[in-house]
Amino acid sequence: MAFIEVIPEEKAEGKLKEIYDNLVSTRGKIAEVHKIQSLNPESIINHMDLYMTVMFGKSPLRRVQREMIAVVVSKANNCNYCQVHHAEAVNHYWKDDKKVAQLKQDYTTLDLTLQDKILCDYAWDLTKNPGNETEKNYINPLKKEGLSDRAILDATLVIAYFNFVNRIVLSLGVHLEENAGGFNY
């Protein structure tokens, strides 16, 4: 149960109802992370715009890399809600339940490309120790592995976005939906 009032779909009116209806038509259903913002409907719109840009927009990072980063950040923050949702998205690409479970448990034991391993390390360390020699430890190694400055920016945006969302989820008591799957990707 959330720690603040949440307006459920059946009681939504006006702008909030429009937003909820749009989420259902585009995403298949309304996530609890959006419902928690129901007292400020404009924040849902802006949140979704940022989410769509960072996670689905044109990028030199592959979609699976962005979802993988989301899981690592969420694990670092102990945010089960986002781990579950974004592990499902990773599995949309990997199609390997065991490998995805290992990503959630301890990504360092996975057989990842060096680029993906550095991205995961960057996600973990930037979450746990923001600004901790990122140029030397992550930016330069990512460039050496062929990532462009744009790709590094996009990775950083994904990391920052999930730290933002994890804090909303954790601080306001957002609970995982009964059926967490079923969102359109």
pLDDT bracket for residue 131 (50, 70, 90): confident
Confirm whether 42 is domain-assigned. no
pLDDT bracket for residue 120 (50, 70, 90): very high
| Domain carrying residue 131 | 63-166
Confirm whether 108 is domain-assigned. yes
Q: What is the CATH number of the domain that holds 96?
A: 1.20.1290.10
Average pLDDT over residues 54-76: 98
Q: What pLDDT is recorded for position 183?
A: 63
Rounded to whole angstroms, how far apart are CA atoms 133 and 2? 37
Confirm whether 132 is domain-assigned. yes
- pTM confidence score: 0.94
Helix axes of 80-94 and 63-76: crossing angle, nearest 10 degrees? 150
| pLDDT digit string, tens, across residues 103-118 | 999 999 999 999 999 9
Confirm whether 26 is domain-assigned. no
Confirm whether 144 is domain-assigned. yes
Confirm whether 147 is domain-assigned. yes
| pLDDT digit string, tens, across residues 154-180 | 999 999 999 999 999 999 999 998 876
Confirm whether 129 is domain-assigned. yes
Confirm whether 91 is domain-assigned. yes
Work out how many domains the chain is built from and give that number.
1
Q: Residues 9-18: contacts with CB within 8 Å, 24+ apart?
A: 9/35, 12/38, 15/41, 15/42, 16/41, 16/44
